[in-house]
Structure 1
Amino acid sequence: MLKRRKIVVLTGTRADFGKLKPLLLRLEEDPNFELHVFVTGMHMLSKYGYTCEEVERLGFKNIYRFINQNASDSMDHILAKTVMGLSDYVREIRPDLILVHGDRVEALAGATVGALNNVLTGHIEGGEVSGTVDELIRHAVTKLSHAHFVANAEARTRLIQLGEVDGSVFVIGSPDIDVMKSDALPSISEVKRRYEIGFEHYGILAFHPVTSEFDDLRRQIRVVVDQVISSGRDYVVIYPNNDHGTDIILEEYQRLRGNPRFRIYPSMRFEYFLSLLRDADFIIGNSSAGVREAPHFGVPTINLGSRQNNRVRCRSVVDVPIEPAEVAEILSRIEQLPRDVESLFGEGDSAVRFRAIIAEESFWQLPAQKYFVDRPLAEHQSGHGCQ
C-alpha cells in the first residue's frame, strides 16, 4: 500500500448495514485505510427504530448522518436528496473510494455521485436478479460503478454479460455469511429475552411492497394477514422496508396488534435476526432473507409473489402465489417442507477477500473512465428460444 486510502461507505438500511458490517470493521481496524460511514435512509427514521444508533454503537471514528426523506417522499425524491447530500460530503472529504451495496436508491445515489465526480466506486452484490424495480436499480448501479464485489460466479458472469471489464469483477461471497458462520451470533435464549419473545416454535413474517404491483398490494397483504391469523401458528413480524406502499402493509398489521400469537418489530439487530431465523420453523413473505440467509440454516421459506423472481433457488424455498387457498395449504404442511442446508454465497471469508483485493495497488489503478466490453454473442446465448 503506497498511501493511506480514504473510503466512504454508504448505508441506508438495517439490512445493508448488517451485510456491510464485516467489511466496515475490517477497514476500521486497518491503518492503511481511513473509513468514513455515511448513514442515511431508513437508519434515520424513528418509524423503523432509528437504527443509526446501531451504526454509532460500533464506535467508528468518522460517521456522518444525513436525513434523506420525509414521510411523503417517493423513491425518486429520496434519490435526488441523497445525491445532493452525498455530493456535498464527497466534495468536502475527497475520498479515494465510495462503497455501496445492493439495489436500494441510496446505492444508486452513491454510484451516481462517484461516476459524476470521477471517484472510484465499488459495488457489493451486483449481478443478481429479482424481477422487480430493485433489479433495475442494481444493474444501473453496476453500470455506474468501477469495481464489483460479487457473491458468486453466476453473478460475475452476468456482469461480464453487461459489458464490464473482466479485471474489475471480484468474487468475494456475501459478507453476511461472515456473520452467519462466526461466533458473533447470540444464543436464541438471549434473543428471546432481549425482544421478549415467549414462543417455543414460530415463523417469521417479512413482507415488502412490490412497487410495480402497487394497485394489488392491499389485496396481497390482506391475504397474507388473513392466512397467518388462520394458521394458528406463532409469528415474529418484521416491518417492511420504506418503499412506496409500506403504510398499506402497516395498516393491515394493525389487525395483529394485541393478538398473543404475534410479536411485531420495526427493526431488529442483524445478528439477533440471524439467530432468530436460524431457530425458526420457517419464514414467510418476500424478503431476500428467505432465499439467501434461510437456506444457509436449512430453514424452509414460503416465498410469496413475484418480488424474488429469478433469484437463485434452493430446495427449501417454495414459491407460492398470493392467493388464499395456496397460502393456507402451504401453511398447513410446514413440517413437510425440505430443510436442506445450502449456501451459494460464499464460505464466510468475504471481509478477508475484500481486504486483500483493495490492498493491491493495481486495484487503485482501475480507470475512472469506463467503457463497454463487447463480446461474441455466442458466448452468452442463454437457450431461451422456442424448444
Structure 2
Amino acid sequence: MKRKICVVVASRANYGRVKYLMRAVQSHPDLELQVIVGASTLLERFGKAINVIKADGFTPVRSIHYVIEGETLATQAKSTGLGIVELSSAFEDLQPDMVVTVADRFETMATAIAATYLNIPLVHLQGGEVSGNIDDRVRHAITKLADLHFVASELSAQRVVSMGENPRYVFNYGCPAMDILANEDMSISNEQMSRYLGVGRPIDWSKPYVLMIQHPVTTSYGHGFEEVSQTLQALKSIPDIQKVVMWPNVDAGSDDVSKGIRHFREFNMNEPIYYYKNFSPEDYARVLNNALCCVGNSSSFIREAAYLGVPSVIVGDRQQGREHGRNVVFASYDRDHIAAQVRAQVDHGRYEPDYLFGRGDAGQRIAAELATTDFRHGA
C-alpha cells in the first residue's frame, strides 16, 4: 500500500520551495502524491500560480479559496480560520497518511492546525529559522505542531531540537528550492521570457538589470506604502540600469505595498522599470540568477541568491535575524541608504556560491525519508 502524501501549496513562493519534492513523491514507487492548491495560488492578481502548477504536470485533487479580501491584520486572521475549516474537510475526505506544509505563513498555520487536530502526521519544511516579523512566531508554533522536520540548515536543526523535538525526526537535507538551481539551465533570453506580460518599459533580458521584490511587514502594518516608496525612489536614482519589479505577496499590508507600486508607476512611466506578477519557479530562478543585484525583502534573496552568489540588499526588518550568506547586505527604509547599498553590491559583483541552505538534492532525500520513516505519534 502506497503512503499518501498530501502537499498543500498556498502561494507562489510555497510552490517554488516544494516543487522538486512533489516531483520526487510523484515518481516514488511507494508514495502517492495528493496536491491541494489554495489561497493566493488561485487569484489572478497574485499571478494565478495554479496555472503554472498544472502546466508542470500536477493535477490538484482540491482547489480551495480561503483568502478573504482586504489584506488587513483581521482578514489575515480570518483567512487562517477559513483555511482550517476548508482544509479539515479536504483532509477528512482524502485521508492522507502525511500532510506536508512549508515555512511560516498564515496558510501554513491553517494547514498545520487542520492536520494536527485530525491526527494526521505533519511534515514541516524550513522550520527552525529566525526572521523579523510575525512569520517567526508562526514558524516556531508550526514546529511544535509538526511530527517530521525537514530543515534547511544545521543551525535550524539545532534550534528545532532545542525546542524539544525528537532529534530522530529532524533532518537537514537543505531546501528543495535549491534543487531547481542545481538541475535547471539558469541562462535567460528575451525569447523564453516573452510569454510573460506586465506593465512598464519592457526589459531587454540580454542587458543588466536589478530585481526588486518587497513584501509587506505585518509587524509594521500600515507603513507599506512609505516603505516600498523609499525602495522605488532609490532605484529611480540609479537611472542607468533596468529594473524588474514583482508584485508583493498576500500578507496583511499587501494593498498598501501594491498601492505604493502603482502610485510610483503612474508618475514614472518613462523609467526603465517593468512590473510583473509572477513567473514559473524555473523562470524566477533565471531572473534571480542573472540579476546584477536583488533589492527588497524576499527570503529568496537570502536562500537561492546565496546558492547562486547574487548580490542582495535586504531592506527593513522582515528578514531581521535570519541566517544568511556572504551575498547579503542590509539597508534601512531610507532611499539614500538603499541606493548606496545597491550601488556597492553592483560594484562588488558576484559572490562565490554559498551552500548554506543545501546543494540541490533535497527533494529526493526527503521523499525517500517519507517512504521509509517509521514515525509514530508520541514516539
Q: Tell me the TM-score normalised to structure 2 length.
A: 0.92
Question: Amino acid of the residue matched to residue 371 of structure 2?
Answer: A
Identity %: 28
Match of 2:44 in 1: 46
* C-alpha contact (below 8 Å) 2:161/2:167 kept by paired residues: yes
Instruction: Give the alignment partner of residue 217 of structure 1, picking from 221, 224, 229.
Output: 224
1:349 aligns with 2:361: yes
Instruction: Give the alignment partner of residue 280 of structure 2, picking from 256, 269, 274.
Output: 269
Match of 1:293 in 2: 304
Cα gap change, 1:215/1:187 in structure 2, threshold over 3 Å: closer, same or farther? Answer: closer
Instruction: Give the alignment partner of residue 339 of structure 2, picking from 317, 320, 328.
Output: 328
- The SS at the match of 2:279 is coil
- Aligned mates of 2:192, 2:237 — CA distance in 1: 26
* C-alpha contact (below 8 Å) 1:97/1:122 kept by paired residues: yes
Task: Tell which deviates more after alignment, 319-328 or 265-274.
Answer: 319-328
- Aligned mates of 2:188, 2:35 — CA distance in 1: 29
Q: Tell me the TM-score normalised to structure 1 length.
A: 0.90
Task: Tell which deviates more after alignment, 53-62 or 154-163.
Answer: 53-62
Cα gap change, 1:338/1:317 in structure 2, threshold over 3 Å: closer, same or farther? Answer: farther
Instruction: Give the alignment partner of residue 19 of structure 1, picking from 17, 20, 29.
Output: 17
Cα deviation, 1:6-36, whole Å, max 9, x if unaligned, reads 1110011111101211111111122322211
Match of 1:201 in 2: 208
- Aligned mates of 1:44, 1:192 — CA distance in 2: 22
Match of 2:178 in 1: 177
Cα deviation, 1:91-124, whole Å, max 9, x if unaligned, reads 1121100010111111111111121111111001
The aligned runs of 1:1-387 (5 Å cut-off) are 3-72=1-70, 74-183=75-184, 185=186, 187-195=188-196, 197-199=203-205, 200-232=207-239, 233-254=241-262, 255-257=264-266, 258-337=269-348, 339-341=350-352, 342-360=354-372, 363=373, 365-369=374-378
- Aligned mates of 1:325, 1:41 — CA distance in 2: 36
How far is 1:211 from its partner? 0.8
Larger-Rg structure: 1
Cα deviation, 1:313-369, whole Å, max 9, x if unaligned, reads 222211111113312322343433363221201111111211221222xx2x32324
Cα gap change, 1:223/1:166 in structure 2, threshold over 3 Å: closer, same or farther? Answer: same
- Aligned mates of 1:340, 1:187 — CA distance in 2: 19
Cα deviation, 1:244-272, whole Å, max 9, x if unaligned, reads 11111111212225335111011111110
CA RMSD in angstroms, aligned pairs only: 1.7
- The SS at the match of 1:170 is strand
* C-alpha contact (below 8 Å) 1:316/1:338 kept by paired residues: no
Cα deviation, 1:218-238, whole Å, max 9, x if unaligned, reads 321221122211221310011
Cα deviation, 1:33-90, whole Å, max 9, x if unaligned, reads 2211010011011111211111122233453100002322621111111111110011
Question: Amino acid of the residue matched to residue 265 of structure 2?
Answer: L
* C-alpha contact (below 8 Å) 2:101/2:125 kept by paired residues: yes
- The SS at the match of 1:280 is coil
* C-alpha contact (below 8 Å) 1:186/1:271 kept by paired residues: no
Question: Amino acid of the residue matched to residue 104 of structure 1?
Answer: R
* C-alpha contact (below 8 Å) 1:177/1:347 kept by paired residues: yes
Structure 2 unaligned regions, length at least 5: 197-201
Cα gap change, 1:94/1:299 in structure 2, threshold over 3 Å: closer, same or farther? Answer: same
Question: Amino acid of the residue matched to residue 230 of structure 1?
Answer: S
Q: Number of aligned residue pairs: give it.
A: 365
Structure 1 unaligned regions, length at least 5: 371-387
